[in-house]
Amino acid sequence: MVVRTRIAPSPTGDPHVGTAYVALFNYALARRHGGQFVLRIEDTDRQRSHPASEKMIFDALRWLRVSWDEGPDVGGPYGPYRQSERSEIYRQHAEELARKGAAYPCFCAAERLAALREEQRQKKLTLGYDRQCRGLDPAEAARRRQAGEPHVIRLAMPLDESMAVRDLLRGEVRFERPQMDDQVLLKSDGFPTYHLANVVDDHLMKISHVVRAEEWLPSLPKHVQLYRSFGWEEPVFCHLPLLRNPDRSKISKRKNPVSLEYYRRAGFLPEALLNYLALMGYAMPDERQEFSLPEFVGHFALERISLGGPVFDLEKLRWLNGVYLRKLAPRELLERLRGHLLSDEYLLRVLPLCQERIETLEDFFDYAGFFFSGEVAYGQAALSAMVPQGRTPAETAKMLSSLLEEKIDRLVEWTDAVIESELRAFGESAGWSVKELFMAVRIATTGRSATPPLFETLAVLGKETCRRRIRKAADLLKLHHKDAKDTKITKTVTS
């Protein structure tokens, strides 16, 4: 059997470390068995999908060198590899199921479903669709569809007491009926949900092993039911443990850097990051900690994956990255730096912002230092200057935090124009003058009050660097707040 695996990210935000993690294991399995590794873009959520995000995913995976054999950018025999270009395929398959009676149209309005859920919640019942439309007379359903009444297509799950499915690592997993909801397959906008698109594509693209994150395990019965309804052979399913925050919750940006952009900008070497990721849930037979991607592939066996959700330990990643860095010859290290913050590309973005503000070449290094460091140091004076007159450090900290959560985290495009309009809008809605807000952001992101124009600066620094500095500044202000007992800062100190 030809081993074919895939990674199927949704382009809805920054490229995620979890995507890299799952990609790595899929890549390793395919390469180990001389098969193919496919990249498929799952952009069926029209609201949240973003082309810029798709590009960042490509870039990030290429940076990591987990190369794919088929994908939207390289093509392949089973394309297109972007789900938004396959709508007709899903629609036809949904119809096929409806014809077979394995799926049915549902005309229930969103409000009815919401009310139903609320009622179930209150009565502490199992949440799920009550299958009202499943009993509809087919002729009537057909008539209503004909009349153009909005509807979705739902999967008719078997009404048995339980259903057994198979996971490679867990063996047989038995699900009790209450969990087996009649999942929506085709949304009222004609787009498929994950469940339909995923199964149809995995089959059509001849995926032999579905290796994905554990969060999908609860929906496995739906997927298996889909394969059975179509009369298709099921692939091997293998659910990988979820990467965790230090508090053991599913890894999230609030508690851990998750964007691959962060790791790239911070200067983690791709091979070190991959090596570290491989250590999450996997151990080489001889337990060595350091190994290359080809070595990993050479020894890889799905069965060796351990199931406890591993805590992502930045500390150990840093150590491992240091090991890799120290092994480089100075020439190679130079090359790495030239591909990073000392690339012509980056310098040519920084230099124009600094040129008119320096008088000697050496001035540049002092003036532009914050463009090249990870975090910046905030002196007492800088901390004070971040807090506008008449406002408290606590207020400022809160303002910066909500800026992060309400605006910055949600931005996919990171250009000076976008940043400017978003910052202005945020200041306005929060009741802060542009002057107040921009100075706070300026100091938070650069550590100083005299800098090149703010938006260009933020654009060059990149979202991840900005977010991490703003986070730190906000945290420091909170401490400041404790010490200063919430006193208003009256004097303005600049440095």
Applying the rule CB under 7 A, the residues between 241 and 280 that interact with RNA are: 241-242, 244, 247-250, 279-280
> How many residues interact with RNA (rule CB under 7 A)?
72
Question: Minimal distance in Å, beta carbon 117 to RNA?
Answer: 5
Element (H, E) at 457: helix 454-461
In the set 51, 75, 101, 218, which binds RNA (CB under 7 A)?
218
219 touching RNA, by CB under 7 A: yes
Nearer to RNA, 51 or 178 (CB): 178
295 touching RNA, by CB under 7 A: no
26 touching RNA, by CB under 7 A: no
The DSSP bridge partners found for residue 311 are 244
CB 314 within 8 A of CB 257: yes
Nearer to RNA, 44 or 451 (CB): 44
Give burial (CB, 10 Å; 0-12/13-18/19+) of 459. Answer: buried
Q: For residue 308, is it left (φ>0), alpha (ψ between -120 and 50) or beta?
A: beta
CA distance 492 to 484: 16
- Cα–Cα distances in Å, from 139 out to 97, 104, 108, 144, 148? 16, 12, 17, 9, 14
Nearer to RNA, 51 or 218 (CB): 218
Give burial (CB, 10 Å; 0-12/13-18/19+) of 128. Answer: middle
In the set 150, 294, 298, 374, which binds RNA (CB under 7 A)?
150
In the set 21, 129, 370, 414, which binds RNA (CB under 7 A)?
129
- The contact mask relative to RNA for 37-56 (x = CB under 7 A, - = no) is -----x-xx--x--------
232 touching RNA, by CB under 7 A: no
Question: Minimal distance in Å, beta carbon 360 to RNA?
Answer: 28
- Cα–Cα distances in Å, from 465 out to 265, 386, 421, 479? 8, 18, 20, 22
CA distance 387 to 449: 12
Number of other CB atoms surrounding residue 235 within 10 Å = 19
170 touching RNA, by CB under 7 A: yes
Question: Minimal distance in Å, beta carbon 367 to RNA?
Answer: 26
Give the residue carrying structure tokens 């149809």: 200
- The contact mask relative to RNA for 417-456 (x = CB under 7 A, - = no) is ----------------------------------------
Question: Minimal distance in Å, beta carbon 221 to RNA?
Answer: 8
Residues 309-368 close enough to bind RNA by CB under 7 A: 309-311, 313, 315-316, 319, 322-323, 326
132 touching RNA, by CB under 7 A: no
8 touching RNA, by CB under 7 A: yes
Range in contact with RNA (rule: CB under 7 A) among 183-191, 341-349, 381-389, 423-431: 183-191
In the set 76, 128, 158, 462, which binds RNA (CB under 7 A)?
128
Give burial (CB, 10 Å; 0-12/13-18/19+) of 264. Answer: buried
Token pair in block for residue 152: 């979705």
Nearer to RNA, 47 or 490 (CB): 47
Number of other CB atoms surrounding residue 105 within 10 Å = 20
The DSSP bridge partners found for residue 103 are 155
Residues 93-122 close enough to bind RNA by CB under 7 A: 108-110, 113, 117
In the set 68, 90, 194, 378, which binds RNA (CB under 7 A)?
194
In the set 30, 57, 66, 152, which binds RNA (CB under 7 A)?
152
In the set 127, 302, 354, 394, which binds RNA (CB under 7 A)?
127
Element (H, E) at 230: helix 220-230
Question: Minimal distance in Å, beta carbon 10 to RNA?
Answer: 3
CA distance 113 to 128: 9
Question: Minimal distance in Å, beta carbon 112 to RNA?
Answer: 9
CA distance 362 to 366: 7
124 touching RNA, by CB under 7 A: yes
CB 65 within 8 A of CB 54: no
Question: Minimal distance in Å, beta carbon 382 to RNA?
Answer: 25
Nearer to RNA, 280 or 437 (CB): 280
Question: Minimal distance in Å, beta carbon 62 to RNA?
Answer: 20
Q: Which residues are catalytically annotated? A: 253
